[in-house]
Structure 1
């Protein structure tokens, strides 16, 4: 938080109230009150700044002035708090007066004296450059809501600064000769410094336009803003998302390079956070839950990067706003369409994607339409067939997004969005020889979903805001292995409404409701379910066919306070309750997080921690009356975290966090809620960010994850345990449109259960499995991989072209991803992962 000093206007607001040493006599005495000879200089209280309290404040003091004109005592008439009283008293003690007199004789007096504190102004600074990072000299015009403007020149290095602005919206129009103008609207807060980094695209000198365009905005960074409501929230900038090697510029895939996230299995396409199962981590798009994060294979996320405003990733201990999950949480925010017409087309070896957006005439509404279709299956299949991978084909996917957005007056807006995803994967063995076969039959996996979403935002006052999100849609999952299958169709309706209101200068409240109603159809054809104490089903037992129709209802409410009790501190207590129709019970989730700045300014040290209770209802299949179990409760987890953040410089910081998690009431097939789990570890992230030429980080996670089916069973490693996970990422702007980057990963191998064979099964005419105890008791060799990326951008009048090569597994290490066995399980070998995987593409953008 920057430190601000201000001189305040000091005035005498009351005449003499009482006098000391005054004796009443007949007649009217000639009494003259004291007058200020030496005024006092004051500063806006640092306590108020630390507590984010910015308001015009008056402090009235009762000041005792002695016969010499010195102040002997000063007392607030009515305490103002936030450090104002202390500053005012200290300033009053330095005042010097011409003493009061009675009939010309100096006397002591008590007066009322007023100090008026004006809140510190907002500061807006910026930098202007080309897309390649070359600094530009130019000018900035600030336009205010009252119609006034203010022109500010930049220096020769493109830097500019305005230190004395008022709280509220301001539009900055950036101009440089020979480049497209840029218009950006920002909201300024008192006492905060906002940094606007703008990259302008060149135009031909005879076609340079002065109409504002917003496609050159890079990012807006706010320094001194309030900390997050959670213990750990990791946010990646747009530039980092686009340029992280090995992710093909995909936003959600970039999360896999952050601490706390394990490497998924090949073709997994899942998030494994702090040793939890993928289904225990939830994903939301603007508050609406979606059933999956990645397309099959994990090569791309279901929401394209180009439509995103931000991604917030919480590995644990998130606030009460979200529930129904016991692990991490991903909150994806879609951006509004742009004001000017904009579009792009991109083709690489993975997929083809298109986007167009802009205004709808003069209606005040804007639109966005985007779509993406994979085609890498046409060239990846030969690679798979030539390797020892377990599959001989590649997934097919597509997704789509349609959006309309408009403002409803000056303080409200409405956005309608239709988005969805469709995936299909069908494969058998890459090699059909019986000597290497480990499974039989064809595996089919199809997943699709869509949502029609409406978002209403209303800032009903300067201190309050209402947000409502409603959505309807469909989730469809079909999984088949040979003659067995599981098919689920769900039709969810969700509604989330939150009111945020500042109750006092240091207290803000968030109240909300979170409702979902989801009818469903479930069809299963699976082997007989295992009943505790009965042993496994007999070989050759016929599958069970189950068809169920029902509906699930989830109703939740939550409340949360953001309290700034003292300088540099923030405490966020919250309380959430959830009702689940399938368990017919209420789950109560208290949570609390805190942050405390131990030092101010840069370098800055912050201590953080939290603890909370989290619940996740059982799935549809687990509560199926034919194949599942009745009487189930929600899975439960307790999250613990303690850590610190150390900001060394403007660009370099370190985050260290120790975490723990205990789980109980886990659903176990045939045994109800008898399962237990525990996970613990530490996360480290040394990060360099905010520099115009370079970004990168070193992330390391140590973790341990264990489970057991009952409290009588021994603990064993959970299948998603990865003890060590090291990731190093770096990307450097070489200038002239070139950027190069790399990512290296070193990770403990995945766990597996060895198969030693169970003898010859006469009923099926084959050798049966014989899995070795304990389950997941062996680990594959360590995984390591280097990915490289090279970008080259050419900028033309009104458009730009980017060519890129994103190469995964540069040195062609064949990772050991699983085990395979011969027909009688006497010979085993490794299933190896993919070879070097290049993605070369072009992107044209208007």
Structure 2
């Protein structure tokens, strides 16, 4: 249980409606590798992209995790999707960790991350076949790490832009203890209504967020430290449609208020130690409180509260010069409290339009299950030869709710077969207990569901051309099984059943599977001749099969071609210019082919759709630019000023269609952000 857990798939619809209406590292050599993260005090490896570089990516707003979209294998369903989809998997298939402990979520609804750029040191993006220490993901793993507090100086940082404002304070207590605290608040809620010209709805709760993060560290000795950390975040929004709004005419169930709120608070205690014999460990004890609440219209309301208590450990022990043994265990106790009422049908991510009015029953209930999850792992980093490292591993997992046991082998290999050339391989089996746990509980879901699984295969080739330039190519294949789908519609697939017989069918089943494959090219140039940059080119395909309806179709995140180009040029001392250009194939949609009058409601029309994801929107591309200026004042303040222009050539990127009228007779393009300037300032004392 890692993030706020909705108890029905209707949450996806709610979030889509709401978000569619809302618009530094301490050391420059801390680095981010594309598949993994390495912290290095030496010259930045060419397989890595430093945090400092990601902070200056145009359009990221000083948010390195916001720049994750420039990395190979990462896509979004639209410009308004907050969490990344990686290599053909859903964003819901990812796992998120911060400083070794689980968190509720890692991205706000405006695509920015919950982490302060003043403390983030690195993050690990694992795109496939990751090590056995990660045990609950089939899509990707994102683990962020914040730096230790400074012991030699204090500082106060104030930063603000048009989108958000924050404050950061850091203070040593003595030579062995230090701390920092950060807090941020969104600002767009104060002016978002000025940019909206829509009489169909009004905000009842302006979309906003805040987050906070703190760390208190005690150095027991040179090889032993303990730190206590807190982190939390809150996102909320609410709106009300007018009675004659197109949304209400097409789905009367939307009449009334729509409100959404999610927040989490996490506290963790982590102990790190290195022993004389080379054994090292990291042990974390944490508590994660999550709450989610939403209501849609007058007949749909859900509230969920989850308290996770987690004990996690990782050990590393050198065994001679050729082996390093890694092992650990994790125990999670989850207390889930849920309750609510739904008149909506069960929905999944393949539905083009999950209308509340199509519900055939009212489902009401509550519960307080307690779930225990047990995980363990072991791996051996084996230096077979001076040029070949082989890392076999095994992940073990079980829980007392689904009562499934998983024994999942993992294997990674890196072989330098000649000077400056490497061949890499990886294989892994993975599973996930989805965050949308409402699909598993009575009466909203099916308690007999299995956990979705995936098998990953990966091959790579790297070549370092010179000390400043490297390119790499990776190919991958993923098999996905036991994907959860909603009960098929009664009219389309069960016309002979009575309402009572139809409602007795399981609301969700594991009747879908899928596959994804692709190739990614990446080239990275480190700073020389006053500039640096990287480019990634990806070709990928991803498909799903719904065995209930016998449909084979391309998945929502199937975007065959994605190109990212990032460059930064040092104009002079303290003045830098950056550019980012992204191209991706258009988003898939399920086309509307018409609408028919409803037999029981004369003013209601039922939409008729074509094949699932059978139409592709125009290609998406956009250019962002950024100018950074560093200034030192006589009063002791260090200022960083930046100006960004998003979508410089004002491309009208179509990310969907909106149909008008009760009979869906009109169609309007839904476009991503127009040209937008953004200015920011960071003052450090």
Normalising by structure 1, we get a TM-score of 0.69
Give distance in 1, aligned partners of 2:282 and 2:529.
35
In structure 2, do the counterparts of structure 1 residues 218 and 684 end up closer, same or farther at CA, with 3 Å as the change threshold?
A: same
Instruction: Report if aligned partners of 1:813, 1:835 keep a CA contact under 8 Å in 2.
Output: yes
Deviation at 1:380, TM superposition (A): 3.1
Give distance in 2, aligned partners of 1:511 and 1:427.
49
Deviation at 1:628, TM superposition (A): 0.5
In structure 2, do the counterparts of structure 1 residues 491 and 341 end up closer, same or farther at CA, with 3 Å as the change threshold?
A: same
- For 1:811, the equivalent position in structure 2 comes to 649
- Check if 1:241 corresponds to 2:241: no
Alignment of 1:640-719 (within 5 A): 640-669=457-486, 670=506, 672-691=509-528, 693-710=530-547, 713-719=550-556
- Check if 1:620 corresponds to 2:459: no
Give distance in 2, aligned partners of 1:692 and 1:332.
31
Instruction: Report if aligned partners of 1:429, 1:437 keep a CA contact under 8 Å in 2.
Output: no
In structure 2, do the counterparts of structure 1 residues 831 and 424 end up closer, same or farther at CA, with 3 Å as the change threshold?
A: same
- Check if 1:744 corresponds to 2:581: yes
- For 2:118, the equivalent position in structure 1 comes to 306
Give distance in 2, aligned partners of 1:587 and 1:658.
26
Kindly name which structure, 1 or 2, has the bigger radius of gyration based on alpha carbons: 1
In structure 2, do the counterparts of structure 1 residues 342 and 430 end up closer, same or farther at CA, with 3 Å as the change threshold?
A: farther
Q: 1:219 aligns with which of 6, 29, 53?
A: 29
- For 1:553, the equivalent position in structure 2 comes to 372
Q: Which shifted more, 650-659 or 832-841?
A: 832-841
Q: Which shifted more, 412-421 or 214-223?
A: 214-223
Give distance in 2, aligned partners of 1:283 and 1:563.
28
Give distance in 1, aligned partners of 2:205 and 2:577.
32
- For 2:684, the equivalent position in structure 1 comes to 845
Instruction: Report if aligned partners of 1:312, 1:330 keep a CA contact under 8 Å in 2.
Output: yes
Q: 1:349 aligns with which of 143, 162, 178?
A: 162
- For 1:731, the equivalent position in structure 2 comes to 568
In structure 2, do the counterparts of structure 1 residues 398 and 691 end up closer, same or farther at CA, with 3 Å as the change threshold?
A: farther
Q: How many residues align?
A: 621
Q: Which shifted more, 521-530 or 772-781?
A: 521-530
Map Cα deviations across residues 584-610 of structure 1 (whole Å, 9 max, x no partner).
Answer: 12111111010101223xxx1110011
Instruction: Report if aligned partners of 2:624, 2:644 keep a CA contact under 8 Å in 1.
Output: yes
In structure 2, do the counterparts of structure 1 residues 825 and 844 end up closer, same or farther at CA, with 3 Å as the change threshold?
A: same
- Check if 1:287 corresponds to 2:106: no
Deviation at 1:388, TM superposition (A): 12
In structure 2, do the counterparts of structure 1 residues 537 and 650 end up closer, same or farther at CA, with 3 Å as the change threshold?
A: closer
- For 2:423, the equivalent position in structure 1 comes to 607
- For 2:84, the equivalent position in structure 1 comes to 271
Deviation at 1:222, TM superposition (A): 13
The alignment partner of 2:447 has SS state of coil
Deviation at 1:583, TM superposition (A): 0.6
- For 2:261, the equivalent position in structure 1 comes to 446
Alignment of 1:88-127 (within 5 A): none
Give distance in 2, aligned partners of 1:464 and 1:476.
39
- Check if 1:526 corresponds to 2:342: yes
Deviation at 1:487, TM superposition (A): 2.4
Instruction: Report if aligned partners of 1:436, 1:820 keep a CA contact under 8 Å in 2.
Output: no
- Check if 1:468 corresponds to 2:280: no
Instruction: Report if aligned partners of 2:69, 2:75 keep a CA contact under 8 Å in 1.
Output: yes
Map Cα deviations across residues 551-584 of structure 1 (whole Å, 9 max, x no partner).
Answer: 2211100000000111310101000110122211
Uncovered stretches (5+) of structure 1, i.e. residues with no partner: 1-213
Instruction: Report if aligned partners of 2:515, 2:542 keep a CA contact under 8 Å in 1.
Output: yes
- For 1:425, the equivalent position in structure 2 comes to 237
Instruction: Report if aligned partners of 2:104, 2:288 keep a CA contact under 8 Å in 1.
Output: no
Instruction: Report if aligned partners of 1:815, 1:832 keep a CA contact under 8 Å in 2.
Output: yes
Q: 2:670 aligns with which of 805, 816, 831?
A: 831
Q: Which shifted more, 776-785 or 566-575?
A: 776-785
Give distance in 2, aligned partners of 1:466 and 1:692.
42
- Check if 1:316 corresponds to 2:128: yes
Give distance in 1, aligned partners of 2:564 and 2:76.
10
In structure 2, do the counterparts of structure 1 residues 364 and 525 end up closer, same or farther at CA, with 3 Å as the change threshold?
A: same
Give distance in 2, aligned partners of 1:358 and 1:287.
23
Map Cα deviations across residues 778-803 of structure 1 (whole Å, 9 max, x no partner).
Answer: 12111111111111111235331121
Map Cα deviations across residues 29-84 of structure 1 (whole Å, 9 max, x no partner).
Answer: xxxxxxxxxxxxxxxxxxxxxxxxxxxxxxxxxxxxxxxxxxxxxxxxxxxxxxxx
Give distance in 2, aligned partners of 1:295 and 1:530.
26
Map Cα deviations across residues 410-458 of structure 1 (whole Å, 9 max, x no partner).
Answer: 3210000111001112235699654997663443221101110111001
- For 1:99, the equivalent position in structure 2 comes to none
Measured on the aligned residues, the alpha-carbon RMSD in Å equals 3.0
Q: Which shifted more, 765-774 or 503-512?
A: 765-774
The alignment partner of 1:381 has SS state of helix
Deviation at 1:691, TM superposition (A): 4.1
- For 2:456, the equivalent position in structure 1 comes to 639
- Check if 1:458 corresponds to 2:296: no
Uncovered stretches (5+) of structure 2, i.e. residues with no partner: 1-23, 40-44, 349-354, 487-505
Give distance in 2, aligned partners of 1:575 and 1:544.
41
Give distance in 2, aligned partners of 1:233 and 1:765.
65
Instruction: Report if aligned partners of 1:263, 1:747 keep a CA contact under 8 Å in 2.
Output: no
The alignment partner of 2:267 has SS state of strand
Map Cα deviations across residues 90-122 of structure 1 (whole Å, 9 max, x no partner).
Answer: xxxxxxxxxxxxxxxxxxxxxxxxxxxxxxxxx
In structure 2, do the counterparts of structure 1 residues 216 and 681 end up closer, same or farther at CA, with 3 Å as the change threshold?
A: closer
In structure 2, do the counterparts of structure 1 residues 456 and 237 end up closer, same or farther at CA, with 3 Å as the change threshold?
A: same
Instruction: Report if aligned partners of 2:31, 2:37 keep a CA contact under 8 Å in 1.
Output: no
Give distance in 1, aligned partners of 2:168 and 2:37.
34
In structure 2, do the counterparts of structure 1 residues 374 and 834 end up closer, same or farther at CA, with 3 Å as the change threshold?
A: same
The alignment partner of 2:118 has SS state of helix
In structure 2, do the counterparts of structure 1 residues 446 and 222 end up closer, same or farther at CA, with 3 Å as the change threshold?
A: closer
- 1 or 2 for the larger relative contact order (CA 8 Å, sep ≥6)? 2
Deviation at 1:363, TM superposition (A): 6.1
Deviation at 1:713, TM superposition (A): 1.6
- Check if 1:251 corresponds to 2:64: yes
- For 1:404, the equivalent position in structure 2 comes to 216
In structure 2, do the counterparts of structure 1 residues 530 and 738 end up closer, same or farther at CA, with 3 Å as the change threshold?
A: closer
Give distance in 2, aligned partners of 1:778 and 1:514.
44
Instruction: Report if aligned partners of 1:590, 1:613 keep a CA contact under 8 Å in 2.
Output: yes
In structure 2, do the counterparts of structure 1 residues 511 and 789 end up closer, same or farther at CA, with 3 Å as the change threshold?
A: same
Give distance in 2, aligned partners of 1:508 and 1:372.
41
- Check if 1:336 corresponds to 2:148: yes
The alignment partner of 2:148 has SS state of coil
Instruction: Report if aligned partners of 2:587, 2:616 keep a CA contact under 8 Å in 1.
Output: yes
Alignment of 1:488-527 (within 5 A): 488-527=304-343
Normalising by structure 2, we get a TM-score of 0.85
Give distance in 2, aligned partners of 1:463 and 1:428.
61
The alignment partner of 1:408 has SS state of strand
Give distance in 2, aligned partners of 1:233 and 1:325.
28
